[in-house]
Copies of this chain bind each other. A is one copy, B any other.
């Protein structure tokens, strides 16, 4: 159950067996069925989760329309970071797109972890840095890449998204209509 977590942590910082065991005692397993929410906009996000299995999406709701922010798969950490850090209401929803298994850590336990084993500050730093890298990369892509370039990048860099996420969700993530995505896919399949 904890192999994937161990590999993921060890890419961020070397840990002794005792440190890893202590980390694990702060986690609670949780199962989500497909479409079940992890968080709703307006709630305060008081926990982050490691995805042991499955896939979740972030999205905004505006005037009744959903705008997908990001997809996360097994091996990643998720949470509505702005809300988690500030205690203000979340602006995004987080839902499971597949039956998913999570390992959940509460905000207070994370602060305890930093205080008791300062080495884990690096874990927190890397988590936050990865959020920055992901969100600035996405902003740049939305600003500067054409929809077709965005789709090609996704195929190249995140094949899991293409394989496991329904097309209408991918279109929303790319900032285009499903019809436009179908045209792009057809054009690429025809080799034009």
**Chain A residues in the interface with B (C-beta under 8 A):** 60, 62, 67, 81-82, 85-86, 91, 114, 118-119, 121-122, 124-125, 128-129, 131-133, 135-137, 139-140, 143-144
Contacts and interface: CB of A to CB of B under 8 A. Distances in A.
A191 to B, nearest CB: 29
13 contacts: A62-B144, A82-B132, A82-B133, A85-B132, A114-B122, A118-B121, A119-B121, A121-B125, A124-B129, A125-B128, A128-B129, A135-B135, A135-B136
A60 B141 CA distance: 12
B82 A136 contact: yes
A131 B124 CA distance: 14
Contacts of A140: 82, 91
A80 to B, nearest CB: 8
